[in-house]
Amino acid sequence: MRKMFRFFLHLCVILAASAATTGISNGQVLINEYMPDPARDWDGDGEYNYRNDEWVEILNTGDLSIDLTGFLLRDGGDQILWRYGFSGELAPGETRVVYGSDALAWEESNGFPRYGLSLNNAGDELFLCHVVEAETLVVDTAAFGRSAVDDRSIGRTVADVGVWAIFDAWNPCPDSCSPAGNGCIPTPGEVNNCTTALAERSWGSIKMIKRR
């Protein structure tokens, strides 16, 4: 079984490299938003953890429900490992979010090293793959740099899913952010409707949360 997984992984890498250079998306399920460097308790377990509170959200942009069996996530790096396997149905327009804590539990259950989502703060890549029998397709990819730090998510905009922005309401971006900040609140598990901050939160208070 592990040999089969390794075969799929290598295939995924080859296909991913191709997708990364061409920017293609092969499916109607897309990576929609992600939080590489959380600074608060995003998974709601009562405490902040740099690993458990990372998250990745996917979105069904099509007109049909999708069976998520065989949809797998991984990050970049030389040692390529699956971080999470989705399951269940995703209705049209529906999102699904996976937190770092979910990824840890999945890795434990499936015999993979316990890294969670492993979204490197200095920059990383994300690959959403669909494994069907002997075939592995890269459904979508995303790559990011250092701009998405301390509670800034990167997400597709509702107006155009091909346009990415940094949702930086909790930690406003300087002009150097890439992609640019849009002043909106990150929305794990919800479509990326742009809502500006309802309650201002100072940079100092965010740092205090992160130090806990």
| Least Cβ distance, residue 32 to Ca ion (angstroms) | 6
Nearer to Ca ion, 19 or 119 (CB): 119
Q: Which two three-digit tokens encode residue 145?
A: 């740099």
Which of 45, 67, 108, 135 forms a contact with Ca ion (CB under 5 A)?
Answer: 45
Q: Compute the distance between CA of residue 67 and CA of residue 85 in angstroms, rounded to an integer.
A: 12
| Least Cβ distance, residue 192 to Ca ion (angstroms) | 5
| Least Cβ distance, residue 141 to Ca ion (angstroms) | 14
Q: Which stretch binds Ca ion (CB under 5 A): 61-69, 133-141, 177-185, 192-200?
A: 192-200
Closest to 60 measured CA to CA, from 90, 23, 88, 16: 90
Our finding on whether 168 is near Ca ion (CB under 5 A) is: no
Which of 15, 25, 29, 53 forms a contact with Ca ion (CB under 5 A)?
Answer: 53
Our finding on whether 58 is near Ca ion (CB under 5 A) is: no
Which of 102, 107, 124, 140 forms a contact with Ca ion (CB under 5 A)?
Answer: 124
Q: Compute the distance between CA of residue 187 and CA of residue 38 in angstroms, rounded to an integer.
A: 13
Q: Can you give the binding site for Ca ion, defined by CB under 5 A?
A: 33, 36-37, 41, 43, 45, 52-53, 57, 75, 118-121, 124, 187, 192
